Amino acid sequence: MQRSILTLSTKKNRGRIRGGQRWVDEHRKDRFVKQAKAQGLRSRAVFKLEEIIRRDRLLAKARLVVDLGSAPGGWSQWCEQQLRDRGEVIALDLLPMVQLPGVHFIQGDFRSKDVRMQLYEILADRKADLVISDMAPNLTGMASVDQARALDLAETAFEFCLQTLSRNGNFVVKLFEGEESAQFRRRCRQYFRECVVRKPAASRPRSREIYLLCKGLRVLAGTGTGKGTCTLNGNIGQ
């Protein structure tokens, strides 16, 4: 019995090694990886955001962008380049990020109330025109667990949006396909004029990640707390 368990364990380890090596090989050959390096960008993920933003012209009138889950900084870098001197980017991540010119970076856990308070202090009663969230949990490989953790992050970002987005502001958030993400999309439709799913070309086909684009935050009767804001009465699930 011990021999069979050892053999099984060895096969699993070999499978992980082969899978890891396959990912490395694919990554090296990836055209978006090569393109990002050629353009001096921090990550291939830039091209996911670029496709969504250009298609829907989300930065056309934007002045203030908040980037959640920003490390290594590709999205912040690209947004700052597009905004140039007419706007500002505020970025946040649990991981460290090398400083970017024109980007105000906060390192910390977005789920922490103290960290979010730092964001509110920097905003100083200003309203964001665009909130982008590429936050994702450490993946376990178990779809139900990964989807639940990703959704928890998405809901926290959504709640933040309702407090900080300007009227008609936009929200882009990463999700993983599943029934719970479909329910989340239905909730978002209550507060935004349009909610559509985007699967950018730079998102690997086998990945279950999708991006939900929520356009045009609107104020619902009885929920407005001020100019261009909404609340969920303290409970995002209601």
pLDDT confidence tier of residue 154, bands split at 50, 70 and 90: very high
Which residues are part of the catalytic machinery?
A: 174
Residue 86, pLDDT > 80, answer yes
State the pTM of this model.
0.78
- What does the domain layout of the chain look like in residue ranges? 1-40, 42-217
Reference 211, options 234, 233, 185, 238; nearest CA is 185
Q: What is the pLDDT of residues 103-143, one digit of tens each?
A: 999 999 999 999 999 999 999 989 999 999 999 888 788 87
Q: Does domain 42-217 have CATH number 2.60.260.20?
A: no
Phi-psi region of 126 (alpha: psi -120 to 50; beta: other; left: phi over 0): beta
pLDDT at site 68: 98
Statement: residue 76 has pLDDT above 90: yes
- pLDDT tens-digit map of 161-220: 999 999 999 999 999 887 788 899 999 999 999 999 999 888 877 788 899 999 999 975
Q: DSSP secondary-structure letter at 139?
A: P
Q: Which residues of 31-49 are buried (b: 16+ CB within 10 A; e: fewer)?
A: ebbeebeeeebbbbbbbbb
Which DSSP symbol is given to 84?
G
185-215 burial by CB neighbour count: b if 16+ within 10 A, else e? Answer: beebeebbeebeeeebebbeeeeebbbbbbb
Q: How far is Cα 8 from Cα 213, in angstroms, rounded to an integer?
A: 44
Strands 192-198 and 103-107, sheet pairing: unpaired
Tally of CA atoms within 13 A in the half-sphere of 168 that contains its CB? 5
